[in-house]
Structure 1
């Protein structure tokens, strides 16, 4: 992807006149709420406490997509005609600003969301989550307040338990979302997401398949019991266990948010996935 527009972060405008309809999409819920609200982007903070070895258990990995071309999870046409035609992708930001504002409120939108190129940012984020890295320059959400807490004792660092409290308010918001309603509105606006995915470099791929794959990947993140050891070879902390460090960006987000939060987020992701993958919907 290019480093110029559409991902340049512009000053945030005030909310425009309501359109009278809400388009809240599963891409926002799955990739934004469950990812960048939980992504540690502030300088790390060390706290003195002794670590202990983590006990690891993992969910079974979702089946791999078929190597044959085709659509695994088709998106049906909307059941009813929209109240007004969809805007073009380039002109979709006002619609998306109103949609997200309706979900989280104006104050939260102004503080948390980058208002430019929202659909493109969401699509790029969804595509990146199953990969090794998820570039921050395309994220649609501001960093989580506070610092990524690290416990440091006897020369060993672990993820601090204080992180869970930072993420808890966002987990509650995520849990409150009605998955069926969100996916319905996502379906209504799906042509814009598919267009953005083609623009990203996948003209023959189906964005909804990628969204389901990204959710499956996060659901396959291992569930850790006990402190998780870290190392700091350079500026950023990494997982001391090479197997954990080699996992996808989406799975490492799940690991960093804390075990209790991860269980709750996974439960909501399963609800969303069921709606996304429902034949005929």
Structure 2
């Protein structure tokens, strides 16, 4: 068993599920803006993004530290790559696997996606999930463009699935899968690193994602080059530079909508708590 308890890799099932809800075609293929709705006359002034970020970061920092060097028993029956599809089916059901997941080369896809979620870009070709139906939707709001309220509905089916995942069973599954995950992580370019470490970093990033003023304003990404962007295949970015500076995973989390983001963060916090419980001395 390598340093930093292998049980941390179990976080990948919830991280994958959360990532799937986030990545499930959340890249910005947009429908035309809808007419603006009258603004509330008594709208309260929300806290600044910077203040929310500081508050969220403080909350994440207050979580118990897993630390490095913790040891847990190795899985009695490590999971081979060929058996991953069957194991996922046992966990969430055949229909859910076929609907939501890309099972081929799953360990590599999962490791690469978790790693990329903590960076500035998470390429969709590596995602362990299928595309989300529909397009990213925007609407006019007070003279600007904002993420449409109904856009969050696209992610609701997967968020509901995430909430049904048995965290204890997920931990058991990914203890078995960890040898494949670590192998993929080393092949990704980290021969001396541990996927467990990276996984925990990304989970804590998710938990530290700030709340943002609703609705979230967006703007067309500037296209640099001789070929202009063509409608409706337009790409959007956050108008607020502080939000745009967040990691790819945090921005995707915000795009799922306020309620979905809160539910996904709650599931990740539950999962992290289970990891700590499983790693504590008996």
Q: Same fold (TM over 0.5)?
A: yes
Name the counterpart of 1:166: 154
Separation (CA, whole Å) in 1 of partners of 2:196 and 2:155: 27
Name the counterpart of 2:73: 77
Separation (CA, whole Å) in 2 of partners of 1:127 and 1:144: 21
Q: CA RMSD in A?
A: 2.5
Name the counterpart of 1:35: 19
Question: CA deviation digits over 1:52-97, x for unaligned, max 9?
Answer: 686542312545xxxxxxx72645123x622xx543xxxx1x3111
Name the counterpart of 1:120: 108
Name the counterpart of 1:246: 245
Q: Which structure has the higher relative contact order (CA within 8 Å, separation 6+)?
A: 2
Unpaired runs of at least 5, structure 2: 1-8, 40-44, 62-66, 224-233
Separation (CA, whole Å) in 2 of partners of 1:280 and 1:81: 19
Unpaired runs of at least 5, structure 1: 1-23, 64-70
Separation (CA, whole Å) in 2 of partners of 1:257 and 1:199: 31
Return the TM-score normalized by structure 1.
0.78
> Cα–Cα, structure 1 residues 166 and 51, in superposed 2: closer, same or farther, change >3 Å?
farther
CA contact (8 A) 2:91 2:169 kept: no
* Aligned counterpart in structure 1 of residue 57 of structure 2, from 53, 57, 60: 60
CA contact (8 A) 2:13 2:174 kept: no
CA contact (8 A) 1:75 1:187 kept: no
* Aligned counterpart in structure 1 of residue 97 of structure 2, from 75, 84, 109: 109
Name the counterpart of 2:35: 48
Separation (CA, whole Å) in 1 of partners of 2:276 and 2:203: 11
Separation (CA, whole Å) in 2 of partners of 1:28 and 1:97: 13
Structure showing the higher helix proportion among its residues: 2
Name the counterpart of 2:231: none
Name the counterpart of 2:171: 183
The within-5 A match list for 1:140-151 is: 140-151=128-139
Separation (CA, whole Å) in 1 of partners of 2:218 and 2:192: 40
* Aligned counterpart in structure 2 of residue 157 of structure 1, from 145, 149, 158: 145
Separation (CA, whole Å) in 2 of partners of 1:256 and 1:277: 29
Deviates more, 1:244-253 or 1:148-157: 148-157
Return the TM-score normalized by structure 2.
0.77
